[in-house]
Amino acid sequence: MKLFDPYVHSPEDLESRIGAIIVKDAERMTHRVTPAEILGVMDLTTLEGTDNKERISQLCHQARFSLVHPGLPDAAAVCVYPSLVRTAKAILSGTGIKIASVAGAFPSGQSSLKVKIEEIRFAIGEGADEIDTVLSRGKLLEGREEEVFDELSAIRETCGAITLKVILETGELGSLEMVRKASELAILSGADFIKTSTGKIPAGAEPHSFLVMLDTILEYLQKTGKSVGIKPAGGIRTGKQAGIFIALLIETLGNQYFKKEFFRIGASSLATEVLSQTGF
């Protein structure tokens, strides 16, 4: 827990950096990526109480962008509830598209560790390639940092070689300092990705928290040589919105991070707009 230095950037510092990066991106076009490249890092998601096999079949078909045109990449993953993992797995077998599942008392995190682990084991047993779990925000806000770390570490152990994304739910953390602390705990516990939001509260992904998360990943990389991925999700509906997060990513971590192994973007309605920009 002592690996990271105190985070000294103020909201004003972050605002200035965000503005400068957006201006640089617009003027120099240095961080432009194609709509096709954006499609290739998408996690197409449906997490509704009305989800069923038919809806998952539709989602899986939508993720096959290459069926629209052979020159397009497929989505990186589809993300579904544990009960529908088996359906998605059967449809997408052999395509290379990963099956992600929210598990571990999504979206609130308000359950016992035992129950969380059992749900995660179930999702993995059904065929999940990736687990999107939630950090216990209530415990963190009470100052129970070691308990949060231990819980995430146990989840990491349960996942084994399965990719683990830890959702911070930044809109509930109350301050950028707490976003930094949540990022540190998730990374130190072994997260492969840190993710902004569940998409289940009004406050989704926003640039300030995202930049704090990027800074934390960068510091970890500089001190350990280990790379951690990042996923903005929640409320990203247009290519322009997505472009801001991509510009922040590339300016902070470099072009090599803009690939599905290190960057995902949570998408539902975004895919339709980006796909239209490809001309297909």
> Considering 116, 165, 195, 260, which one is annotated as catalytic?
195
CA distances from residue 265 to 9, 71, 119, 157 in whole angstroms, order as listed: 25, 21, 24, 25
> Considering 89, 98, 231, 260, which one is annotated as catalytic?
231
How are strands ordered across the β-sheet holding 265-267? 229-231, 193-195, 163-167, 130-134, 98-102, 77-80, 42-45, 265-267
Torsional class of 57: left (φ above 0), alpha (ψ -120 to 50), beta (otherwise):
alpha
Annotation says 259 is catalytic: no
Q: From CA 273, how far away is CA 144, in angstroms rounded?
A: 42
Annotation says 98 is catalytic: no
Annotation says 116 is catalytic: no
> Considering 132, 192, 215, 260, which one is annotated as catalytic?
132
Burial of residue 244 (number of CB atoms within 10 Å: 0-12, 13-18, 19+): buried
If one counts every other C-beta atom within 10 angstroms of the C-beta of residue 233, the result is 24
* Residues taking part in catalysis: 132, 195, 231
